[in-house]
Amino acid sequence: MALPNRWKPSEKPSDSAEASASKSVALPESHLTVPHTLEAKDATKKIDLASALQYGTAQGYPPLFSFIKEFTTKYLHPTIPYQDGADIILTCGSTDGFFKTVQCFNNEWSEGKDPVEEREGILVECFAYMGAVGTANSRGMNIAPVAIDAQGMLASGPGGLEDILVNWDFRKGKRPHLLYTVT
């Protein structure tokens, strides 16, 4: 249990510049210094500002990131033509990952502030995960549901992709450039 009197409070600063110049305030005995960067073999014991404030990498738990990066590069996508092979992004779950993706590919739009011609849209299956729809909606995106059948989105026919895109109502914003599908 942390008691409120565990540290002695420092003295109040004086109003007089002379008085403060003549006094030197000693640090309490329980003074704690947190280093900017700390080299530690055990990531769970590493407490420094570069990690805590994410001045360094924000890739997540280093051993997990390394394992997934190596597995992806060696086994899932060994022929990716990038210098270091496939790259990965760790997220806290599907909604977090979807939010980061939408944030990357979409300009946020606000009704009453931004012109409707700048509103971006996203095509979604008629029965889509509400977390994804809510994420897109919170950024002001125009949600365009597409009809589905047992195989997924309909390419043509009433409510299908072709129907929605050919008959797009530009009074609602731009034609969608993103598509969210699960099936």
DSSP string computed for 18-77:
HHHHH--PPPPTT-----S----SSGGG---HHHHTTSS--SSSHHHHHHHHHHIIIII-
Q: Is the pLDDT of residue 124 over 90?
A: yes
Cα distance between residue 86 and residue 153, in whole Å: 29
Q: What per-residue confidence (pLDDT) applies to 172?
A: 92
Q: For residue 116, what pLDDT band results from cuts at 50, 70 and 90?
A: very high
The residue range of the domain holding 143 is: 108-180
Question: Is 118 contained in some domain?
Answer: yes
Which residues are bridge partners to 152 per DSSP? 149
Residue 141's closest CA among 112, 169, 178, 167? Answer: 178
Highest averaged pLDDT of the listed ranges 22-31, 38-47, 106-115 = 106-115
Q: What is the pTM of this model?
A: 0.60
Do 58 and 115 fall within a single domain? no
Q: Is the pLDDT of residue 119 over 70?
A: yes
Do 69 and 118 fall within a single domain? no
Question: Is 37 contained in some domain?
Answer: no
Question: Is 127 contained in some domain?
Answer: yes
Q: How many domains does the chain have?
A: 2
Q: What per-residue confidence (pLDDT) applies to 26?
A: 65
Cα distance between residue 70 and residue 93, in whole Å: 21
Q: What per-residue confidence (pLDDT) applies to 25?
A: 64
Do 84 and 129 fall within a single domain? no
Do 84 and 114 fall within a single domain? no
The torsion region of residue 158 among left (phi > 0), alpha (psi -120 to 50) and beta comes to: beta
For the residues 157-162, what does the mean pLDDT come to? 95
Question: Is 24 contained in some domain?
Answer: no
Do 173 and 120 fall within a single domain? yes
Do 115 and 82 fall within a single domain? no
Question: Is 3 contained in some domain?
Answer: no
